[in-house]
């Protein structure tokens, strides 16, 4: 028997297997032996996420570790560094897959890495990709047709450099310090990396560096954990992250590092919209967005633990920004084949409406049927909106206008004879502009409107969860009260 044991212990395969078992059991041993579960982590070699001051770690993500430990203490869980040595992101994910560490604080989602590690919801913070340039060379950069762009090799960002020049070359560097030296020596023209790191670099440079105002995808950093981590521990981590958001802790850390311009809390959902009464509009008195869809979205996202922030641009611009994933969502809009290519639509719709033709009261143009509208009649429509086939297939002439309000003003001035618009929106606009109008019957199907999210990892998760919570919310008294507040009944939308 002794000989068998000795042979087993000297077998290389068995020795390797035993080492792996020991690595995976470390947290369990702590839990059983000392009443505390220790989750090991590493610090990444990038400022301001992690920085070394002497032998001590500091930085934005290190501060998050400190705050997490304050909240986890009562649960008998603690996050500890395996060592104070700074690691590359590739080394960190390798350590996660091997079981050397159990968690990492502050990683972007990557499909390949997601096969060996899990991503905790909700995210810690949101950020974007950006281009850093020398402040002195910024104007020259804008004039160049050919540029060299530095990236940090092995990062998610390095794999998604957008095309901003006729000819551009990507040069990989080991870390940001190497890339900055190359930029200072004019061996490269710009650096493409996350707004967290480059924003901090710009703030600390006192005018030496600047950034290019190029729309780029918004993405998130998460707590990443090993796939074998106990589900109970994962749930406690999730609850703690939610508390840090609800108590404004992450937001305070963002301000501590002067990152407000570059980073947002992970529970903030940025939604693009426009003035479109009674669905959504900006109230200058309240200095906030209101409307039936706004109130419903705000209530549903709050129940999910998220805080919506509404942002406006002209509608075509909103759509273009969502094509590059610059914001989290856009409302209220219809599904189309084109939009499904860059947006994630929830199964549950947000609201409905009917598109009709408006004309000035007393106009001789007949709108009782599409066939009765003379072919020479000029009808306005809002550029970028998705109308039904009945409209596009009709014989009358069509002209695009930038907004519904412009369309009604053109109708009022006799520049156009008809304007197609959502019935509720058109009646509201006509009332505010003091225009006496008439409208046609509904020629097409009922319009179904959605809050659509970015077609990426976080957007897909938000879309699925939003759909579930919205479906439940529609059966509540609170939902009916929101509809009633804007003079809408449940039957108006859903019957």
How far is Cα 105 from Cα 336, in angstroms, rounded to an integer? 38
Q: Is residue 316 part of a domain?
A: yes
Same domain? For 187 and 278 the reply is: no
* Domain match, 226 and 214 both: no
Structural domain includes residue 395: yes
Within a domain: residue 424? yes
Q: 161 with 188, same domain?
A: yes
Tell me: do 212 and 226 sit in the same domain.
no
pLDDT tens per residue, the chain (495 residues)? 333 333 334 444 444 444 444 444 444 444 444 568 999 999 999 899 999 998 899 999 999 999 999 999 999 999 999 999 999 888 999 999 999 999 999 999 988 888 889 999 999 999 999 999 999 999 999 899 999 999 998 888 888 888 899 899 999 998 899 999 999 999 999 999 999 999 999 999 999 999 998 888 999 999 999 999 999 999 999 999 999 999 999 999 999 999 999 999 999 999 999 999 999 999 999 999 999 999 999 999 999 999 999 999 999 999 999 999 999 999 999 999 999 999 999 999 999 999 999 999 999 999 999 999 999 999 999 998 989 999 999 999 999 999 999 999 999 999 999 999 999 999 999 999 999 999 999 999 999 999 999 999 999 999 999 999 999 999 999 999 999 999 999 999 998
Q: In this structure, what CATH number is given to the domain that contains residue 421?
A: 3.40.190.10
Co-location of 23 and 118 in the same domain = yes
| 415 and 369 in a common domain | yes
Last residue of a domain, one of 219, 251, 282: 219
Number of domains in the chain: 4
Same domain, 73 and 196: no
Residues 99 and 45 in one domain: yes
Q: Give the residue numbers spanning the domain of 470.
A: 267-351+453-494
């Amino acid at each position: 028997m002794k000989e068998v044991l000795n042979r087993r212990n000297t077998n290389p395969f068995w020795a390797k297997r035993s080492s792996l078992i020991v690595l995976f059991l470390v947290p369990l041993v702590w839990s059983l032996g000392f009443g505390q579960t220790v989750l090991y982590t590493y610090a990444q070699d990038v400022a301001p996420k992690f920085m070394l001051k002497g032998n001590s770690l500091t930085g934005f993500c290190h501060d998050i570790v400190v705050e997490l430990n304050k909240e986890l203490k009562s649960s008998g869980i603690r996050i500890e560094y395996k060592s104070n040595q700074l690691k590359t992101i590739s080394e960190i994910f390798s350590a996660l897959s091997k079981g050397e560490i159990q968690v990492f604080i502050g990683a972007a989602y990557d499909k390949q890495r997601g096969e060996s590690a899990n991503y905790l919801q909700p995210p810690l913070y949101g950020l974007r990709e950006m281009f850093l340039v020398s402040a002195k060379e910024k104007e020259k950069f804008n004039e160049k047709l050919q540029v060299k762009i530095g990236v940090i090799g092995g990062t998610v960002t390095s794999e998604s450099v957008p095309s901003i020049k006729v000819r551009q070359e990507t040069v990989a560097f080991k870390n940001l310090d190497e890339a900055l030296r190359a930029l200072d020596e004019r061996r490269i023209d710009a650096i493409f990396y996350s707004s967290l790191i480059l924003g901090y670099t710009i703030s600390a440079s006192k005018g030496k560096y600047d950034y290019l105002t190029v729309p780029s995808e918004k993405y998130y950093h998460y707590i990443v954990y090993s796939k074998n981590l106990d589900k109970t521990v994962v749930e406690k981590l999730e609850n703690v992250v939610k508390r840090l958001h609800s108590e404004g802790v992450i937001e305070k850390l963002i301000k501590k590092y002067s990152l407000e311009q570059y980073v947002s809390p992970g529970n903030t959902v940025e939604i693009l919209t426009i003035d479109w009464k009674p669905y959504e509009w900006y109230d200058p008195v309240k200095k906030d967005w209101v409307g039936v869809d706004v109130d419903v979205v705000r209530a549903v996202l709050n129940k999910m633990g998220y805080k919506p922030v509404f942002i406006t641009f002209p509608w075509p611009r909103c759509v273009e920004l969502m094509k590059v994933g610059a914001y989290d969502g856009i409302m209220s809009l219809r599904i189309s084949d084109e939009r499904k290519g860059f947006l994630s639509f929830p199964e549950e719709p947000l609201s409905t409406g009917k598109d009709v033709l408006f004309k000035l009261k007393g106009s001789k143009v007949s709108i009782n049927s599409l066939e009765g509208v003379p072919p020479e009649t000029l009808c306005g429509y809002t550029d970028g909106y998705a109308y039904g086939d009945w409209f596009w297939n009709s014989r009358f002439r069509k002209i695009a206008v930038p907004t519904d309000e412009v369309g009604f003003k053109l109708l009022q001035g006799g520049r156009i004879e008809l304007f197609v618009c959502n019935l509720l929106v058109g009646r509201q606009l006509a009332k505010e502009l003091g225009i006496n109008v008439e409208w046609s019957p509904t020629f097409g199907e009922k319009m179904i409107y959605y809050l659509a999210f970015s077609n990426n990892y976080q957007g897909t998760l938000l879309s699925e969860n939003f759909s579930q919570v919205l479906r439940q919310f529609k059966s509540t008294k609170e939902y009916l009260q929101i509809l009633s507040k804007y003079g809408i009944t449940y039957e108006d939308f859903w019957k």
